[in-house]
A and B are shown apart, each in its own frame.
Chain A
Amino acid sequence: MSEPRAPDPAKLVVGVFLSDKQRFEAVFDRLVGCFGPIDLLSRWLPFDCTTYYEREMGRPLFRRMMSFESMIDPDTLSEIKWTTNGIECDSKEGGRRTVNIDPGYLLRERFVLATGKNYAHRISIGKGIYADLTLIYQRGDFQTLPWTYPDYAQENILQFLRKVRKKYVFDLDRRKSDVLREGRAPE
């Protein structure tokens, strides 16, 4: 019988896309207020792999990716998605969202996004939210899956995630060595 074990703490990664770049600062401040300081922020990346959001949000759309310094319990991803959904709702004008926020987490082995949309490959994680296994990490790099969103297969996103993962692994290893040195139970 396998022994149940708590998952490793995860790195919170959030993608924000919008049409009006001027709105980013307010959203950024809300996210930092909710989840703490960021430790990596991307420049503007084109969001051009789909036209799905253009009717609601306009075009062209631009995205920034960010990772947060504090690690999260992966089990809290559905709550985080509810929080970011609330920020999206607050951004509405005329019933339309002006910002889209995609939270996810990164572990050594995978990158997972939260979504409210059910699909064959997505697993319910509570509160009406599903986990989308977006990328796996094998053979020294992220690997796409048949259902990976095309934008998350793009090199600019992968480059960003590689750097986030490097920082995450560094922080996680340091955290574990601190625990061993101090002889205390892991958090």
Chain B
Amino acid sequence: MALNAELLKILVCPKCKGEIHLNGSQDGLVCKACSLMYPIVDEIPVMLIEEAKPIPPEAHE
């Protein structure tokens, strides 16, 4: 996965401006506070609020 840890240190959730982290399958960036997953397409995070997928709280990892 080319989406490196350094980059994750730079980006935040566009909705709450809080922390995000890579999900377990490494195909999305998760904001726990908003319960949203921003998909990663071709190694590019799609951080549009309207394209984020709601996730149940227990699925945050």
Contacts and interface: CB of A to CB of B under 8 A. Distances in A.
Interface in A7-65: 24-25, 37-43, 45, 64
Contact of A39 (B7, B17, B43, B46): B46
B34 interface: no
Interface string B15-56: 001000000000000000000000000111111111000000
B11 A43 contact: yes
A37 B48 contact: yes
Contacts, number: 50
A163 B44 CA distance: 8
Q: How large, as a class, is the contact surface on chain A?
A: 10 to 19
A41 B31 CA distance: 13
Interface of B: 6-7, 9-14, 17, 42-50
Given A38-B47, A41-B14, A159-B7, 18 more contacts: A37-B49, A37-B50, A39-B46, A39-B48, A40-B45, A41-B13, A42-B12, A43-B10, A43-B12, A64-B17, A160-B10, A163-B7, A163-B10, A163-B44, A163-B45, A166-B43, A167-B44, A170-B44
